[in-house]
Chain A
C-alpha cells in the first residue's frame, strides 16, 4: 500500500482483505475517509488501491521533485532520520579524522596539527615487525575459529531447543543458556582459570577417569590456547545467539510441518527440509555480518587468559595496539594497525557479500 494510507498498519493482510475489513467492520465513516483520501493521491496510485492489487507500477512519484509541501509532510520522519545521520557522523565518521595520526610521527605534545608527517613510514615499520605478522595470524585464526564454532553451535542449539515439546522446560533451558551472555569476560575468564587449573575440575575428572596420568596445565601450552578461547566464546554466546534463530524458526508456517507430517516425514526430515531452509535467509545475513567481524577476534579473553608462555599465540591485533599504541606511547603505530584492521574487515565483508549475491543468496547491500 502507499504511504499515508489510513490502513497502512494492517500490512500483514493483503490489500483487498484489509479494505474489506475496514469497510465492513472498522470505520463507521469509512466512505468519507476514502473520498478524502482518494482526492489526495495521484491517479496512478488510486488505481492500485482501488483494484486492491500490489502489482508493480512504475510510480513517477519516485522521481518526483522534492517540494516544500512534501518535506513538510514528512517533517517528523526527516527529523528522526537527521538525528541518526548526525549520530553516525559524530561517532562513526568524525573519529576517522584521527587516522591522520598513522601518517605522522604523532607526539601528544604537538597535537594533530603540529606533528611531523612521515608518510607510510609507520606502516612500513608495522609490516617489518615479525610480532605484528604473528599477531595477524593469531587474530585471523581465532576469529575464524570463533566464528565457525559459535555460529554452528547457535544454529544447532536453536534447532535442538525447538524440538523440545514441553514449553516450560524449553523456556527454562533457553533462559539458563543465555545467562552467560550477561557475565563480563573478567568473570568468565576467572571461572575458566579455576576450571582448567591443574587442580581444577576438568583435570580432576580426566585423571580420575584414567584418561590422563598427570594433570595438564592447559594455559601453559600454546597448542590449547585458541581452542580454549573458542570454547569460552561458545559457552558464553551460544544461548544468546540462538535467540534470533529461534524467532526465525517460530515464523515458519506451521502448516508446512503438518503437511510434512502427513507425507510421513520424521523429525530429522522436517529439520532438514523445513526448518533449515526456513531460517536460511537469517543464517546468511548473520554470516555476512559476522564475516566483517572476524578480525574483532576479541581483546578481553586473550588479554585476561594470556600469559608469557602463550603470548606468541594469544596476542590479537587489539592487544598489539594497546601494547605499542597506548603502553609504549607510539600512537601513530597503534592507529596504523587499527587502519589495517578496518581495511581488511571492509574487504572481507564486501567479498562475502559479492559471493552471496553471485550464488543468489540474501545479501546485505
Chain B
C-alpha cells in the first residue's frame, strides 16, 4: 500500500517536471537555446509546441520564437523598438532596416561570416559586398536572393493583373494583352453574368490601397510601359531614372480606372476597404480581377476558395501579360534575385540585445544544411511527403490538404520563412527546394480550373502566362534603395511626401467627375513635393551601382 503511494507520487512528480521544464532538454540532454525574432512583415505565428520546430530544435540545439507585424507599418514597429531600446535577438526590419542600422541596433556580421560555411556559401562575394553599409560592414543577410543551381519557379510570386479563370473560360480563352482588352472582357462578362451561381453580385475589379499595400493602385504604370519592378522608378536604357508617376502611360492608366469607376466596374469600396475586408471579398469569389502581388493574396484566398468548393466555379486567379499597347513587351515576371543581384535594402540581422551572437549565427548556419532545409520546406518524411523510387518527393491529396490547413500549419509545420532559404533546386540535386516548385507536385496540386486555363493557353506554369525575363541589369532592384531612404535627406523627404500625396490623390482622380482637370490639379500638387530631389538621389544611386559593377 505504502509502496503504491510512493510510486504514484513519483509518477506525478515526473509528469509535472515533464510538463514544466522537460521539453527544454533535447535528446543529447543539453539545453535548447531559445532565441526571439521579429519580422516587420505580416505573417502567422506558429504554436509554441510546433512539431517540426521541436525536431529542428533537437537537431540544432536551438529554437526561435518568431513574431510578426500586426496592424502597423514596418517603420512604426521598428521605430517603437528603437525608442524603447530593446530588441529581439533576430530582426528583419523590412522598410525600417535603415533606421535600425542608424540607431546602432545591429551587430556587424562580416567578422563572423567566414566561420560559418553554409552562411558564407549562401551568397556570392558580389552579393556580400553589396550588403555592406556606408561604414563598410555587413549587418544583414537578405533571405530571398539565393537560387540553388537553377530557377525552378512555377508561380508568379509577384505583381500582375489577375483575372478569374471563369471569365477567360466564358470568353473562350481570348488573348488579352492590353488594359483596354482586359476591361472590355470584364465588362462583357459582368453584363452577361451579373451574379455568381448562388446569386452573389459579381464585382468587376477591386483595388486594394490600404496603407503600404497601395502598390496595387500605384505602381502599375512602370509595368505597363514594359519595365520590371524597380518599385519606385523606371530605369530607362539601363542608365537613366524616369519617374513613372508622370508618364503619359500613368495618365492613361488612371484615366482608364476613372472611366471604369464611372461605369461601376471598379468596386466603389476600393479606396476605403481594409486589407482584411479585401481578402474576405476575394475569398467569396465575387471579384473578377485586380492588381496585386501573388504573396499578398494567394495563400489565404486560394485555401479558402478550395475549402468552399469555389474552384469548381472557376474563381481562381491567373496573371495576364498586360501592357499599355500590344507592341510593348511585358516584364511583369523576372527571374528571382541571384548571382550578383540582391535586395540589399533588408534582410535578417542580429541585434545588440542578442547575448549569444555566435549561437545565433550557428543556428542560421544549421538552418541552411540539407537536412534542415528539407524539414523547413517539405516537412517530415512519411507525414508531409513521400519519396518515390527515383528519389523524387511527392505528396498525397491528404498531405496537400493538410499543408493548406491553418491549424495544421500552426501545430506541425515550421518553415522559418524569414531565415535564409534557397529557391530552385534542393541540395540533393534532384528535388526542388519547395513543394510548389517541384514540377509534378505543382501540376498535381493545381486546381482543375487553373490547369484547364493554363492548358488552353499552352502554358505549364503561372510564369508561362507572362513569360520569363532575366534580371534587367546589375542595378536591379532600385527599390532596395528607395526603401531605405529616410527623411534626413531632401530626396527621402520628397519620397515620403510623394507617398502621402499619392495616397490621397490617386483615389481622388480615379473618382473624379472631370478626370482631365483633376489630373492637372494632381500634377500641380505633385510638383510641390519636389519629386526632382528624390529622382536625383535615385540617379546618384544608379550611377553608383553602375560604377561599382565595372
Q: In the complex, what's the smallest C-beta–C-beta distance from A96 to chain B, in angstroms?
A: 16
Q: In the complex, what's the smallest C-beta–C-beta distance from A121 to chain B, in angstroms?
A: 14
Complex: chain A residue closest to B493, CB-CB: A328
Q: In the complex, what's the smallest C-beta–C-beta distance from B74 to chain A, in angstroms?
A: 9
A108-B85, A309-B504 are known contacts. Are A326 and B272 too (CB-CB below 8 A)?
A: no
Inter-subunit contact A329/B102 (CB<8 Å): yes
Inter-subunit contact B277/A193 (CB<8 Å): yes
A108-B104, A309-B271 are known contacts. Are A325 and B504 too (CB-CB below 8 A)?
A: no
B385 at interface by CB-CB < 8 Å = no
A-B pairs under 8 A by CB, number: 80
Inter-subunit contact B500/A311 (CB<8 Å): yes
Q: Which of B31-39, B168-176, B243-251, B506-514 contacts A (4 or more CB under 8 A)?
A: B506-514
Q: In the complex, what's the smallest C-beta–C-beta distance from B525 to chain A, in angstroms?
A: 11
B300 at interface by CB-CB < 8 Å = no
| Most B-side CB within 10 Å, residue of A309, A325, A329, A330 | A329
Q: Which residues of A contact B549 (CB under 8 A)?
A: none
Inter-subunit contact B75/A327 (CB<8 Å): yes
A100 at interface by CB-CB < 8 Å = no
- Which residues 317-335 of A have a CB within 8 angstroms of B? 322, 324-331
A219 at interface by CB-CB < 8 Å = yes
Complex: chain A residue closest to B75, CB-CB: A327
Complex: chain A residue closest to B497, CB-CB: A131
With A and B bound together, what is the CA distance between A215 and B267 in angstroms?
12
| Most A-side CB within 10 Å, residue of B75, B209, B214, B502 | B75
- Interface 0/1 of B184-200, CB less than 8 Å to A: 00000000000000000
B interface, over-half SS = helix
With A and B bound together, what is the CA distance between A186 and B70 in angstroms?
12
Inter-subunit contact A308/B209 (CB<8 Å): yes
With A and B bound together, what is the CA distance between A197 and B274 in angstroms?
11
- Which residues 172-200 of A have a CB within 8 angstroms of B? 186, 193, 197-198
With A and B bound together, what is the CA distance between A311 and B272 in angstroms?
11
Which residue of B269, B500, B506 contacts A217 across the interface (Cβ within 8 Å)? B269
Q: In the complex, what's the smallest C-beta–C-beta distance from B62 to chain A, in angstroms?
A: 29
- Interface 0/1 of B442-463, CB less than 8 Å to A: 0000000000000000000000
A193-B277, A322-B76 are known contacts. Are A328 and B507 too (CB-CB below 8 A)?
A: no
Which residue of A107, A131, A197 contacts B269 across the interface (Cβ within 8 Å)? A197
- Interface 0/1 of A213-240, CB less than 8 Å to B: 0010101100000000000000000000
A198-B268, A217-B268, A322-B76 are known contacts. Are A328 and B487 too (CB-CB below 8 A)?
A: yes
With A and B bound together, what is the CA distance between A186 and B79 in angstroms?
22
Q: Which residues of A contact B85 (CB under 8 A)?
A: 108
Q: Which residues of B contact A217 (CB under 8 A)?
A: 268-269, 272
Complex: chain A residue closest to B272, CB-CB: A219
Complex: chain B residue closest to A189, CB-CB: B274
Q: Which residues of B contact A215 (CB under 8 A)?
A: 268
With A and B bound together, what is the CA distance between A326 and B74 in angstroms?
11
B387 at interface by CB-CB < 8 Å = no
A108-B104, A329-B99, A331-B83 are known contacts. Are A312 and B504 too (CB-CB below 8 A)?
A: yes
With A and B bound together, what is the CA distance between A153 and B506 in angstroms?
38
Q: In the complex, what's the smallest C-beta–C-beta distance from A152 to chain B, in angstroms?
A: 29
Size category of the binding interface on chain B: 20 to 34
With A and B bound together, what is the CA distance between A108 and B79 in angstroms?
10
- Which residues 278-335 of A have a CB within 8 angstroms of B? 307-309, 311-312, 322, 324-331
Which residue of B79, B80, B105, B272 contacts A309 across the interface (Cβ within 8 Å)? B272
Inter-subunit contact B83/A326 (CB<8 Å): yes
Q: Which residues of A contact B500 (CB under 8 A)?
A: 131, 311
Inter-subunit contact B504/A326 (CB<8 Å): no
With A and B bound together, what is the CA distance between A107 and B214 in angstroms?
30
Interface residues of A, CB < 8 Å — how many?
26
Inter-subunit contact A108/B508 (CB<8 Å): no
Inter-subunit contact A311/B103 (CB<8 Å): no
B132 at interface by CB-CB < 8 Å = no
Inter-subunit contact A327/B272 (CB<8 Å): no
Q: Which residues of A contact B102 (CB under 8 A)?
A: 107-109, 329
Q: In the complex, what's the smallest C-beta–C-beta distance from A221 to chain B, in angstroms?
A: 10
Inter-subunit contact B274/A308 (CB<8 Å): no
Q: Which residues of B contact A193 (CB under 8 A)?
A: 274, 277
With A and B bound together, what is the CA distance between A220 and B79 in angstroms?
30
Q: In the complex, what's the smallest C-beta–C-beta distance from B352 to chain A, in angstroms?
A: 11
Inter-subunit contact A326/B268 (CB<8 Å): no
Inter-subunit contact A311/B82 (CB<8 Å): no
| Most B-side CB within 10 Å, residue of A309, A312, A322, A325 | A309
A109-B103, A193-B274, A217-B272 are known contacts. Are A307 and B210 too (CB-CB below 8 A)?
A: yes
B73 at interface by CB-CB < 8 Å = yes
Inter-subunit contact A108/B75 (CB<8 Å): no
Inter-subunit contact B511/A326 (CB<8 Å): no
Which residue of B103, B486, B496 contacts A108 across the interface (Cβ within 8 Å)? B103
Q: In the complex, what's the smallest C-beta–C-beta distance from B98 to chain A, in angstroms?
A: 9
Q: List 22 A-B contacts (CB under 8 A).
A: A108-B82, A108-B83, A109-B102, A109-B104, A193-B274, A197-B269, A215-B268, A220-B271, A220-B511, A307-B272, A308-B504, A308-B506, A308-B507, A309-B511, A311-B500, A311-B504, A312-B504, A324-B487, A327-B79, A328-B496, A329-B75, A329-B103
Which 7 interchain pairs have the tightest Cβ spacing? A308-B503, A326-B79, A327-B75, A108-B103, A219-B272, A109-B104, A328-B487
6 more CB-based (< 8 A) A-B contacts, given A108-B103, A312-B504, A329-B79: A107-B103, A108-B104, A193-B274, A220-B268, A311-B504, A330-B487
* Chain B residues engaging chain A, CB cutoff 8 angstroms: 71, 73, 75-76, 79-80, 82-83, 85, 99, 102-105, 209-210, 214, 268-269, 271-272, 274, 277, 486-487, 496, 500, 502-504, 506-508, 511
